[in-house]
Structure formats: C-alpha cells, structure tokens
Amino acid sequence: MRRRWNLPALKEHIRTIEPDKNWLLSTVDSVSHSLFIYQYHKSLARDAFAAYHVEHDPDGIKMFAATMMMGGDDEFEDAKLASEANLIAAINITRNTFDILAQLVNALALPQPLAIDRCDFTKVRDKLQESTLKAEISRVSQLHWYRYLAGFSNTIKHRQLITHTPSQKHEEKTGRYLGGGAEVASFDYRDDKFTSYWVQEVLEGTVEMHNEIVSLGITLNEHCLTPALP
C-alpha cells in the first residue's frame, strides 16, 4: 500500500514554529492543489487520441486517413492540439511542483534559508546538510524523468522545439496495428540528449515523478517531525 503524505501534520508543525508565515501554509496548499491540476491535464492528454486507439480503430484506417488527408482532418487536428497543450501543462506543473516543494524544504530544513527568489530544487539540494532528506533530493534530481521534464520545460520557454508527430504503433514481428497517437520529438538540453517518446510514455514519466514528489514530502515530514536524539 502506497504511503500518503500527511499534509495536515506538516501544517500543524508550521503553525507551531512559524506562526507568522501564512505564506508557508499557503505553499503547502499549493503543492496539494498542483497535484490535482496535474491529474486534470494528464487525463486530457492521455485521452486526446482515444478515437485512434486500437479498440476504436482496430485496423488503423481512421488514423491513416487522418494523417494522409491533404487538407487535414478537424477531429485529428483537435486531438493533436489537446494532446500537445495538456502534455505541456502536465509537464510544467510537475516540474514547478518540485520548486514549490523546494520552498518548503528551504524554510523548514535549512538553518539559513535562501532568499525566496533564489530558491529552487537544485539550490536547496546543494545547501542542505547531510541527511536522508538531502540524499533523497539528490537521488531524485539525477533521475532520467526529472532531467527530461526539466529539459523540456526549459526548452519550450525559449523556442517551440518540441512538436507532436502523428504516428501509428505496430507490433514489430507481425506488423499488427497497436494504436495511433503522437510522439514527442527528440531534443538536447545542456549535456543531455533525449530520444523521442510516445506521449503516453512521457505521461508515465510524469506519474513516476509525482510519486517521487509525494515520497519527498513524506521524507520532509520525517525530517521535521522526528524528535532529535539527545
């Protein structure tokens, strides 16, 4: 059974030690709300190409026709737009939630907190003293999907380099149609080179990262609420 992050306990701790920092209580609420917003966009991105999934288009004829039409297909174009817009939103909200979490770690776990406008996930990681919390943040910051989401978010800030290419999935050995959808193009960011992925694969990566956010929140609670040894 997956553990849950006890946000009420963390808020009670904040009220005890930081009675004047209502912004910190609202930051806890922001993390929680971000998780709900993410679920909304993830679902819309996942379902955008439902009409072209194998159960609705068993032979791939609808997908083939949509991609071959010279003038485009309104339903297909709508699916592309919904997929792209909601995928970008799901990625950005996931990436931003790590930095919202960093504000909590900054205020609650650093002896000398960073200025709010200088605080992000990696800067907090580097400033933390050796602890389980630091080790966990360091581990997550090196994960493939964390680096992918960070690279994606930073790339689309400057140029719309990442585009959706309509594609069909086929079984490698038999050629059997497995469904249609969109791929996210490969891209480079700093020293990382990211291959192309199906939208569904990227969404699965965001799910992994949201599970990591919850895990880090639980570790933050343990860091803050566990009594120090004498």
Tens-place pLDDT, residues 5-54? 999 999 999 998 877 788 899 999 999 999 999 999 999 998 887 755 54
Q: Count CB neighbours of 12 within 10 A.
A: 12
The confidence score (pLDDT) of residue 68 equals: 45
Task: Return d(Cα 67, Cα 95) in angstroms, integer.
Answer: 32
Specify whether the CB–CB gap between 109 and 223 falls below 8 A.
yes
pLDDT at 70 over 50: no
| pLDDT for 61 beyond 50 | no
Task: State the burial class of residue 214 (Cβ atoms within 10 Å of its Cβ: 0-12, 13-18, 19+).
Answer: middle
Q: Look over the chain and give the mean of its residue pLDDT values, rounded to a whole number.
A: 83
**In whole angstroms, what is the distance from residue 5 CA to residue 221 CA?**
8
Residue 56: pLDDT band with limits 50, 70, 90: very low
The pLDDT tens digits for 182-223 are: 788 889 998 999 998 888 889 999 999 999 999 999 999 999
